[in-house]
Chains A and B, each alone.
Chain A
Amino acid sequence: MADIRVGRLDDIADGGHKVYATSGREVGVFRVGTKLYAWENHCPHAGGPICQGKIFGQIGEELTPDKRSLGLFYTGQKHIVCPWHGFEFNVETGRHPGDEGTRLKGFPVDVRDGDVWLRLPG
């Protein structure tokens, strides 16, 4: 394991993300409020650069109590969308919304003195 400083927290907007290439790895760092999440830039579908996609709001479908559709709405959760084929992953859990087993590989990330540090294997 090695701790690697990749950038400044201030450079990542709340709700935004940055993708860093370092030490033979590519990692996306996502900021949600005061929390950071780090995911490998490798899509479990076919190896695409998942973190270099854009963030979109998760879409839900609202139903009436008697199960009629009221149409689509944004749930408030954020998804990173793979630019290769569109697989979506929750930026906080790294999980695909439709399949528990399809998930991103995460790394520990923290902030020290305003710097973002990743803990990467090797």
Chain B
Amino acid sequence: MDDRASAPTGVFELPTIDTLSDTRDLLAHATKEAEKLKDYFVVDSDGHLSEFPFWQEIVARLDNKVYRDMAESFKERPGSPPGLSNAMPGMLYQDMFGRIPHQQRLGEKTPEKPHKMVTLTQRAMDTMGLDYMVTLPTPMLVLGMHPQPEIEAAIGQAFNSWMCEDMLPQEKRMINMIYLPFNDPEAALREVEKHAANPQVVGYMVTSTRYRPVHHDCYMKLYAAIEESGKPISFHSGFHWGDESMKQCNRFLSMHAISFVYYNIIHMTNWVINGIPERFPKMKSMWVESGLAWVPFVMQRLDSEYMMRTSEAPLLKRKPSEYMREMYYTTQPMERDNLDLLQATFKAINAETQLLFATDWPHWDFDLPNSVTQLPFLNEQQKRNILGLNAARLFNLEVPKHKLGSPQPGPVAEAAAAQGVRVSQGR
């Protein structure tokens, strides 16, 4: 037989990845890594879903019938963004013009049940080796720029109802930080009161892309309720190419790189200098999706100015950096091109106890657990803390014993333990 005419055996042709690829195939290379993490507890503190494919379901949860009818009226219009959402310029640039398909759409086939959003999240968690994923929206990250605060409040309410009542019950590994319609403090308070007792709600998210000073007196009731609940408030940053400063950037890259840091720098500065940590000492705060490099920068700037102008920040009893070191930060997008700088940053923010791993999946700049496991300056326990144990503590998640990181007993120690004797683990 002519060997050349036959298809080679033991060779399989792999397809090009596109918007219809199955998440499990798309992330297959992450699965190999995930197998090494089997006895790690891994929490993704900032995962996402694309809510627009489910927008009709979400707006159907609008309590207000007028807004519900308004939103539903957009249903028949082709080519326009989902009604009332006020999607921002640049949103469609994220997939780098077709280069990064999963950013554009996860159009893969899914079974009828559970809900498609749940299946997509399960597939991502399983392929990346995650025990829990915080599931946050995507285009709604710029809803804080909506010119109508009442629409932000209405959509926030609808999204939280859909997420907490329709989605979360389908998968216990999905957890959520509910959307706070921060331009309407009373509405934000109502959302906290409504969802605080849900064990799958592990905190409250303020989307940072907005022009509201976080120290304004109108937020004090909200912060008191958040402090009382024991769950953290998070500031999830984003971009806004319509911002007058950002309009100076002519490339999405430039605007995106700066925007995410810019909003959290402003909010952090107001938060600390106005003494919010002194007013609500038990309230925990998290700073999300701005990377980490900005944190030591702000620490140094604020410490330096505070020492010269202390009388402008009379509520503070310590240097700004000392408050910041007690806050929580998520890893992604972790700047790791210069490991010396990154190591110094980890030290500055007390990463061992304050840093939470995050993927940002399915966004184009997502990180995998290997962004942490491959860091040469971390020891084993530090990796475990950052990958999941810090989040377990902050979100009150139960960690299976074998994932705690302490070494398992050998057969001799086990046999001794069976007879009630504990062998020495060293002095």
A and B physically associate: yes
Binding site for B on A (CB under 8 A): 4-7, 18-23, 26, 41-42, 46-49, 51-54, 56, 81, 83-86, 88, 113-115
Interface 9-mer from B256-264, B360-368, B398-406: B360-368
A25 CA to B98 CA in the complex, in Å? 27
B310 at interface by CB-CB < 8 Å: no
* Contact among B8, B11, B98 for A54, CB-based, below 8 A: B98
User: What is the chain A residue whose CB lies nearest that of B2?
Assistant: A113
Listed A/B pairs (11) with beta-carbon separation below 8 Å: A4-B10, A4-B11, A19-B13, A20-B14, A22-B8, A22-B11, A47-B29, A47-B33, A49-B26, A56-B99, A85-B366
- With a CB–CB cut-off of 8 A, which chain B residues contact A52? 14-17
From residue A43, how far is it (CB to closest CB) to chain B in Å? Answer: 8
Closest CB pairs A-B (n = 3): A19-B14, A83-B17, A22-B11
Cβ of B24 to closest chain A Cβ, rounded Å = 12
A83: which B residues are within 8 A, CB to CB?
17, 26, 99-102
Q: Which residues of A contact B32 (CB under 8 A)?
A: 47
Note all chain B residues with C-beta closer than 8 A to A26.
14
Nearest chain B residue, comparing its CB with the CB of A6: B11
Q: Tell me the nearest residue of chain B to A79, going by C-beta.
A: B99
Q: Once the chains bind, are A54 and B14 in contact (CB under 8 Å)? A: no
Can you name 9 extra interface pairs (CB under 8 A) apart from A21-B11, A85-B366?
A4-B8, A20-B12, A47-B368, A49-B17, A53-B16, A54-B99, A81-B100, A83-B26, A83-B100
Kindly state whether residue B77 has any CB partner on chain A within 8 Å: no
**What is the CB-to-nearest-CB distance from B289 to chain A, in angstroms, rounded to a whole number?**
15
A84 CB, nearest partner CB in chain B, Å: 7
The listed residue (B4, B16, B370) touching A113 by CB distance below 8 A is B4
Q: B12 contacts A81, CB within 8 Å?
A: no
Residues of chain A lying within 8 A (CB to CB) of residue B11: 4-7, 20-22
Q: Which chain B residues lie closer than 8 Å to A81 at the CB level?
A: 96, 99-100
Min distance, Cβ B212 to any Cβ of chain A, angstroms: 32
B13 touches A7 (CB 8 A): yes
Choice from A4, A47, A53 contacting B370 with Cβ under 8 Å: A47
Residue of A7, A51, A52, A53 contacting most chain B CB atoms (<10 Å): A52
Q: Which residue of B lies closest to A117 (CB)?
A: B8
Whether the pair A85, B33 counts as a contact (CB closer than 8 A) is no
Report how far A5 CA is from B2 CA in the complex, Å.
Answer: 14
Interchain CB contact (< 8 A) of B29 among A48, A54, A88, A115? A48
Please name the residue on chain A nearest to B371 by beta carbon: A46
Q: Across the two chains, which residue of chain B brings its CB closest to A115?
A: B4
**Most chain A beta-carbon contacts within 10 A, residue among B28, B96, B100, B368:** B100
- A86/B14 in contact, CB under 8 A: no
A25 to chain B, nearest CB (A): 11
Closest A residue to B3 using CB positions: A5
Hey, which chain A residues are within 8 Å of B370, CB to CB? 46-47
Report yes or no: B12 in contact with A42, Cβ–Cβ below 8 A.
no
- Determine whether the beta carbon of B99 is less than 8 Å from that of A49: no
Q: B30: CB under 8 A from chain A?
A: yes
A49 touches B12 (CB 8 A): no
Question: Are A86 and B8 touching (Cβ within 8 A)?
Answer: no
Which A residues are in CB contact (< 8 Å) with B365? 85
CB neighbours of B99 from chain A (8 A): 53-54, 56, 81, 83, 86, 88
In whole angstroms, how far apart are the Cα atoms of A18 and B16 in the complex? 8
Residues of A within 8 A of B371 (CB): 46
Contact of A85 among B4, B18, B100 (CB under 8 A): B100
Interface residues of B in 345-394 (CB under 8 A from A): 364-368, 370-371
Decide: A84 and B100 in contact? CB cutoff 8 A: yes
